[in-house]
Amino acid sequence: MSDGSRLILALDLVDVGGRALRMAQDISPHCFAIKVNWPIILHAGPQIIREISRFSRVICDLKLADIPNTNRLIVERVRELGAWGVIAHSFVGQDSLRAVVEAAGDMKVFSVVAMSHPPGASDLLNRFHDMLIDISMKAGGVRLRGPPGQQRGRPAPDKGTRRGGHEDNIARHRRPGRR
């Protein structure tokens, strides 16, 4: 893992014969973090989080979108496995997102406020990204995640957000009327 890199490797593939783990080990010295998603976790098992966390920061791209207790249970488990960060949807509401933040402890929480897949994301989710930013800010302790160009409104540091460093490139937000 490289503290000087801004690169986050999206390990969005199915692990066949340990190929993903070998790839992650080879590339990790050049990356700030490695992002894993549901397909690799379901194929390789949750232990893939622990294995990768031995040599890199791991962001679990789970896009959590459930009731508070279920979100809490999932976050507690990935934290036990060594995850550095977790991604959750904000559309499920402030209570569910707050459960993620509280269960995360020192882990970073990234809140999805918009998505990039056309036309699906524009059908509903992206129409409400300003509202989703507000939900995320009220939940506290989150970084915002959305496609470039659709992000507005960067929260002030006193809003309970944890920002800075490499994760800041995920959360480039400006509130209207603020610099």
Which residue is catalytic, options 35, 63, 108, 138? 63
Distance CA 104, CA 97 (A): 11
Question: Could you tell me which of 136, 178, 128 has the C-alpha nearest to residue 153?
Answer: 178
Distance CA 66, CA 24 (A): 29
Residue entry with tokens 């934290």 = 79
Which pairs from 115-120 meet CB under 8 Å and 24+ separation? 115/146, 115/147, 116/147
Is 63 an annotated catalytic residue?
yes
Distance CA 33, CA 85 (A): 9
CB neighbour burial string for 100-123, b if at least 16 within 10 angstroms, e if fewer: bbbbbeebbbbbbbbbeeeeebee
Question: Could you tell me which of 123, 129, 67 has the C-alpha nearest to residue 97?
Answer: 67
Distance CA 126, CA 130 (A): 9
| Active-site residue list | 63
